[in-house]
Chains A and B, each alone.
Chain A
Amino acid sequence: MNAYAGRTVRVDLSRGRITKETIDLRLAKAFVGGRGLGTKILYDEINPKVDPLASANKLIFAAGPLTGTSAPSGCRWMAITKGALTGAVASSNAGGDFGPELKYAGYDMIIVEGVAKHPTMLVIDDDSVELCSAQKLWGENVHATEDLLHEQLGGNFKCASIGPAGERLVRFASIMNDKNRAAGRSGVGAVMGSKKLKAIAVRGSGGVTVADPKRFRAVCLDALGKLQAGTVGLSRYGTASLVNVINARGVLPTRNFQSGQFEGAETISGEAIAERILIRNRACFGCPIACGRVTAVKNGKYAGSGEGPEYESIWALGADVGIDDLAAATKANYICNELGMDPITAGATVACAMELYEKGAITEKQAGCKLSFGNADALVDLMTKIGYRRGFGNVLAEGAARVARKFGKPELFMGVKKQEFPAYDARGAVGMGLQYATSNRGACHVRGYMVARELLDGEQKMNPFTTRGKAAATIAVQDLTAALDSSGICLFTTFAIGAPELLAMLTAATGFDYDLDEMLRAGERIWNLERLFNQRAGLSRKDDTLPKRLLAEPMPAGPAKGKTVPLGKMLPEYYRLRGWDAEGRPTRTKLASLGL
């Protein structure tokens, strides 16, 4: 078999049973792999109404057909499940070595079912697949867990695990692999924790073959060249190179989206990271960009070392909480990585609590501290408390939507479908607002990065404030992203390559006779299937919305001053172009045309 490893491991934790299944190539072609194929399995096998933390939910680890090949940044794997944070379909993407190693062991996917009686880990060594006790690992943070696993099994195993946050069902717990790579969003780590699955360790000596090696080599070299030329800033300053750019556009959300420009942006920028804490770049497997940051805060009360922060995390733990102390934000990010939780939601939830505190909805006694914007000590302290669900951290561990509701101001939750926004205020990029509102996993930047079209310079730059053409553009980028995610390469490749290069790599690797339309239709099929899952889970048109702040409160200052998101103008057009009815439900005709 080409590109695919060809097998799936199914692990029933309740019964301690492991079975191996063959990949259905017909389905693989229709859903590409990774996110798409994993969603298809989730959709077919679980009742979408299930409690995400119940035994009946399933958790799927899925690599794509390009994972483990020389396709640039071909290292991605996805965690697919019903999200603990959102109650919607969740698919969280991560890089590192874990995904390729899974393929080399001979598997495209792991389907985890049921709940183990005791803390358990899954050890995959080529054909040998075993469940073992993880009693000794339970309670350990992610880094210690990997160190202990390497001690026990040998250094060349690649690991994905949860930390204390996942064990304690923090609703935005992540699954971490290779220590600092994260399947971060929507609470996939809480689902893993609910199953008492502490870790998966995998080692493989096999390989991945491609259908047309000569052509595949040529298209990979072509894509590599374009990436090297087109991602210089990302290599040099990491993802946080965006801090100054987005701040200048007036859409760097500040203090829980009360404004769009942060006076301390410069001190938390990628440039500042490079100057003050960067030790070296670190590449994920097969990636020419190497945006990863190996960093250290050498002195002071926030001393520590690890990786990051990324753009999203330095924003959530910086501008969004009004903190311009790079060391503190970096320390908070290290804690998120070590305890295994999503720094976007963690920071945004603290930001929401800070606004609730400043508006008198949360008292100092309840918070256990003066929870004003800018309080760096409180932020760092709360990160640990959230991860271990201690004190006020236990309240925040539920995420901002539930916190805002609990304290009587649900309108202060800045997100969609119970998932917090990432680091772009849609009042200055209205297409991004439409994408947030319609994203199947809740507010998210990596389901359709309209930012590239509206805020970054390029040939296809659109006016960020007008609604014209935004529905069509959003749909196009959502569908392409769904196909690309499912292929196993990194979304960041789209800074330099696009659909033609992806198509060339996919066809040469798999041997499938996709044309461009067919590949994009696979993306559309995946998007519609995710939508169907959410619909059956009980989500509807009313969930395709934005907080009142973005819809009705004009941006107070900066380049986007006076703007709101005219979502009502875009959403009906979006539904219509998607072939959905006025309530946002895919029509029979549309589903039939997609073979769903």
Chain B
Amino acid sequence: MARVLIIDPAKCNSCRLCELACSQGHANAYRPSRSHVRVAIYPEDAVYFPVVCMQCDDAPCVAVCPSAALVRHSRTSAVLVVEERCVGCRMCALACPFGAISYWGGKARKCDLCDGEPECVRFCPPHALRFESEERSTDLARMVFANRLRDALKEVSTS
């Protein structure tokens, strides 16, 4: 069963351990600038959330790539960069609605779901990043809506 990376911004605590885990896994150094996941932090608004590739089904990066360098892995469903084919045009980075594609060393770089065992998930203490079955991937949004409705109903019934 395919699994997807789930981001739960409400749980993120802004620690950036995901960036460290990702960069160590992919660049063999604790190096946030080379991490595929980056945490957006707005301290004044108390808003923090990890930004990372969502492995879109109909992926703009795949569609825009002129050299067919972005391909979907059959087992993990991750969109991967085939380095030998990548011409370094950065069109994919422009096309990505999440800004989740980086570029260095002449090639596009992106999340590959660590071949099915994402390090960022392993190193996320508050479980803001999870790797779960695709059926469960929309549970979160549903619950957020349901919780809001419950709160509203509670307010109505008590007033």
Say yes or no: is A579 at the interface (Cβ < 8 Å to chain B): no
Fill in one digit per residue for A268-301: 1 if any B CB lies within 8 Å of its CB, else 0. Answer: 0000000000011111111110100010000000
- Report the separation of the CA atoms of residues A205 and B14 in the bound assembly, to the nearest whole angstrom: 19
Across-interface contacts of B46 in A (CB, < 8 A): 279-280, 282, 294
- Report the separation of the CA atoms of residues A208 and B21 in the bound assembly, to the nearest whole angstrom: 12
Q: Is A286 touching B20 in the complex (CB atoms < 8 A)?
A: yes
Contact of B15 among A206, A210, A288 (CB under 8 A): A288
- Report the separation of the CA atoms of residues A280 and B33 in the bound assembly, to the nearest whole angstrom: 26
Please name the 3 residue pairs, one residue from A and one from B, whose CB atoms are nearest each other, closest first: A207-B31, A207-B29, A288-B125
Q: Is A224 touching B125 in the complex (CB atoms < 8 A)?
A: yes
16 contacts between A and B (CB under 8 A): A100-B32, A104-B32, A207-B31, A207-B33, A208-B29, A208-B31, A209-B29, A224-B17, A282-B43, A282-B46, A283-B13, A283-B16, A284-B15, A286-B16, A288-B15, A290-B126
Residue of B whose beta carbon sits closest to that of A203: B33
- Report the separation of the CA atoms of residues A294 and B41 in the bound assembly, to the nearest whole angstrom: 13
Across-interface contacts of A286 in B (CB, < 8 A): 15-17, 20
Q: Is A290 touching B30 in the complex (CB atoms < 8 A)?
A: no
- Report the separation of the CA atoms of residues A234 and B34 in the bound assembly, to the nearest whole angstrom: 31
Across-interface contacts of A282 in B (CB, < 8 A): 13-14, 43, 46
Q: Is B31 touching A206 in the complex (CB atoms < 8 A)?
A: yes
Fill in one digit per residue for A19-58: 1 if any B CB lies within 8 Å of its CB, else 0. Answer: 0000000000000000000000000000000000000000
Q: Is A104 touching B31 in the complex (CB atoms < 8 A)?
A: yes
Across-interface contacts of A70 in B (CB, < 8 A): 17, 20-21, 24, 30, 123
- Report the separation of the CA atoms of residues A282 and B15 in the bound assembly, to the nearest whole angstrom: 8
Residue of A whose beta carbon sits closest to that of B12: A283
Across-interface contacts of B74 in A (CB, < 8 A): none
Given contacts A104-B32, A294-B46, contact A281 B20 (CB under 8 A): no
Say yes or no: is A585 at the interface (Cβ < 8 Å to chain B): no
Across-interface contacts of A284 in B (CB, < 8 A): 15
Q: Closest CB-CB distance, B63 to chain A, in whole Å?
A: 30
Say yes or no: is A68 at the interface (Cβ < 8 Å to chain B): yes
Across-interface contacts of B30 in A (CB, < 8 A): 68-70, 207-210
Fill in one digit per residue for A201-224: 1 if any B CB lies within 8 Å of its CB, else 0. Answer: 000111111100100010001001
Fill in one digit per residue for B113-139: 1 if any A CB lies within 8 Å of its CB, else 0. Answer: 000000000110110000000000000
Q: Is B13 touching A104 in the complex (CB atoms < 8 A)?
A: no
Across-interface contacts of B68 in A (CB, < 8 A): none
Across-interface contacts of A180 in B (CB, < 8 A): 43
A interface residues with partner B (beta carbon < 8 Å): 68-70, 72, 100, 104, 178-180, 204-210, 213, 217, 221, 224, 227-228, 279-288, 290, 294, 305
Q: Is B15 touching A224 in the complex (CB atoms < 8 A)?
A: no
- Report the separation of the CA atoms of residues A179 and B24 in the bound assembly, to the nearest whole angstrom: 28
Q: How many residues of B contact A (CB 8 A)?
A: 24
Residue of A whose beta carbon sits closest to that of B17: A286
Q: Is B24 touching A213 in the complex (CB atoms < 8 A)?
A: yes
Across-interface contacts of B43 in A (CB, < 8 A): 178-180, 282, 294
- Report the separation of the CA atoms of residues A286 and B23 in the bound assembly, to the nearest whole angstrom: 13
Q: Closest CB-CB distance, A181 to chain B, in whole Å?
A: 11
Across-interface contacts of B158 in A (CB, < 8 A): none
- Report the separation of the CA atoms of residues A294 and B126 in the bound assembly, to the nearest whole angstrom: 17
Say yes or no: is B27 at the interface (Cβ < 8 Å to chain A): yes
Say yes or no: is B159 at the interface (Cβ < 8 Å to chain A): no
Fill in one digit per residue for B1-41: 1 if any A CB lies within 8 Å of its CB, else 0. Answer: 00000000000011111001101100111111110000000
Across-interface contacts of B32 in A (CB, < 8 A): 100, 104, 207
- Report the separation of the CA atoms of residues A100 and B35 in the bound assembly, to the nearest whole angstrom: 15
- Report the separation of the CA atoms of residues A279 and B45 in the bound assembly, to the nearest whole angstrom: 9
Given contacts A209-B28, A213-B24, A228-B125, contact A290 B14 (CB under 8 A): yes
- Report the separation of the CA atoms of residues A206 and B21 in the bound assembly, to the nearest whole angstrom: 15
Across-interface contacts of A217 in B (CB, < 8 A): 24
- Report the separation of the CA atoms of residues A282 and B21 in the bound assembly, to the nearest whole angstrom: 20
Given contacts A207-B34, A224-B125, A280-B46, contact A290 B27 (CB under 8 A): no
- Report the separation of the CA atoms of residues A281 and B13 in the bound assembly, to the nearest whole angstrom: 6
- Report the separation of the CA atoms of residues A70 and B120 in the bound assembly, to the nearest whole angstrom: 11
Residue of B whose beta carbon sits closest to that of A143: B44
- Report the separation of the CA atoms of residues A221 and B15 in the bound assembly, to the nearest whole angstrom: 15
Q: Closest CB-CB distance, A570 to chain B, in whole Å?
A: 39
- Report the separation of the CA atoms of residues A287 and B30 in the bound assembly, to the nearest whole angstrom: 15
Across-interface contacts of B14 in A (CB, < 8 A): 282-283, 290
- Report the separation of the CA atoms of residues A211 and B79 in the bound assembly, to the nearest whole angstrom: 32
Across-interface contacts of B28 in A (CB, < 8 A): 209, 213
Given contacts A70-B123, A279-B46, contact A290 B31 (CB under 8 A): no
- Report the separation of the CA atoms of residues A210 and B34 in the bound assembly, to the nearest whole angstrom: 16
Residue of B whose beta carbon sits closest to that of A70: B20
Across-interface contacts of B20 in A (CB, < 8 A): 69-70, 286
Across-interface contacts of A280 in B (CB, < 8 A): 46
Across-interface contacts of B126 in A (CB, < 8 A): 288, 290
Given contacts A69-B20, A104-B33, A207-B23, contact A290 B15 (CB under 8 A): yes
